[in-house]
Each structure stands twice: as C-alpha cells, then as structure tokens.
Amino acid sequence: MTYRIVLLLAVALLAFAHERCRNAAPSSPAAETGAAADTAQARRVILFFGNSLTAAYGLSPEEGFVALIQQKIDSLKLPYTCVNAGNSGETTAGGRSRVAWVLSQPVDIFVLELGGNDALRGLPLDASRENLQAIIDQVRAKYPACRIVIAGMLAPPNLGPEYTQNFAQMYRDLAAANQTALIPFLLEGVGGEPALNLPDGIHPNAAGHRIVSENVWRVLYPILRESL
C-alpha cells in the first residue's frame, strides 16, 4: 500500500496548489498580470505508471529513474512534477484495474511502463495487448490532451523466438496505432548487464537506473519542450 500513500499525498498536494491558484483574487491590474504569469508557469503533471522498474525496486526512491528525471527537470527549471505510480509486481491486467484511481487528478503526460511481468509469466500476448490498449483508452477518455509515452520491453529468450518477437512488436504496434511516443527498450544498455543490476538479475541497481533515466529522457525531453 506504500505506493498508494505516496501517490495520494502527491495528488493532494497538487490539488491544493490548483485550488489556491483558482481562489486567488487579484486586487489590481498588476496583480492580475502576476496571476496570469503564475498560471502560465503552473506545474504540469507527468505520471509514471508502471511496475517495480518504475517503483525503483530494491533502492531508495531518489535513486530510481523517475526521481532522476525530476532532477533533470528541476535543473532546467521546467514546470513539471513527476508522480511515481509504480507498483511492484504489476501486470497489464493489474494496471488496467488500477488506472482509473490514479487518473483522479489531471495528468499532462502519461508514461506507460507495463508488460514486463506479463512476459516473465508467459501470459498470452493478446491479453497483454488488450490491457495496454484499455489503459491508453482510459487515459485518452479522461484527458484527451494528455501526451502518452509507451516504454517498450523485451521478453526473456527462453519463451521462444515467436513470443519474444511478437512481444517486442506489440509495443511498436500500440505506439503506431495510438500515435504515442515510444521508448524502444526501457532497459537498453542495462538488461543482461550484471554490474548494472541487483543480484536478482532483473531489476536495475542505482547505476542501472541512471542509464534508464537517459533512455527515458531522450524521448521525454522533446515532448516537455513541445508541451510548453
């Protein structure tokens, strides 16, 4: 339940900030100008919706790629706040049932990182594809202007060439069909590298997360600039 508490606190803070801006009553033209400037610079929300990779499993939150993305954003003084909605062990089916709850507050950019646990369990690709599409549909229905980024993953080779090829293609097809941005492989340069992963060989360590953050940033940063 920890991720729910963290996310709920983040949502509450954002809601409070929005309410304060909405209720502000400027008393002069100069104040009105200042309020307009504040509104223009209101922080927008990037929601990272994923599994243990997003949740920075085995590490402190500040070592994970979501926190590192926030550091990059802050260093450039960009008006965005990252919300980490990672849930360890999450499958696409779990994400589909959970997404409505995390959409309770406005989202400007939605980073979808799910499917890895489906592959580890060898779940049917048709079901995974349907669940991911349903998540995208819910985001678009609630926030039509929200930009979506899909984080691609690879399946372990022991599942056979047909499954692994179709699994990788699933992300490309979803991105093309929904006109979303695509991170081709979230763990590029990290997956399969013992020095960059925890002893389980699955989850990145702190050094691995630094590389993952660069993989995400290459795709995300242009969207941040376009959305201003």
List the chain domain ranges: 2-7+43-227
Q: From the candidates 27, 28, 60, 200, give the one annotated as an active-site residue.
A: 200
Has 200 been annotated as catalytic? yes
Closest residue by Cα to residue 37 from 49, 53, 21: 21
pLDDT at 39: 44
How does residue 41 score in pLDDT terms, banded at 50, 70 and 90?
low
Q: For the domain covering 2-7+43-227, report its CATH number.
A: 3.40.50.1110
* Helical ranges in 26-64 per DSSP H: 29-40
18: annotated active-site residue: no
pLDDT of amino acid 161: 97
H-run or E-run covering 113: strand 109-113
Global confidence as pTM: 0.84
Q: Examine the pLDDT at 72 and tell me if it is beyond 50.
A: yes
pLDDT band at residue 14 using 50, 70 and 90 as cut-offs: very low
Q: What is the pLDDT of residues 153-200, one digit of tens each?
A: 999 999 999 999 999 999 999 999 999 999 999 999 999 999 999 999
Catalytic residue among 108, 118, 203, 213: 203
Catalytic one among 52, 108, 209, 213?
52
Checking if the pLDDT of 5 tops 50, the result is: no
* Residue 51 CB contacts under 8 Å (≥ 6 apart), including other chains: 86, 87, 88, 89, 90, 91, 95, 113, 114, 116, 117
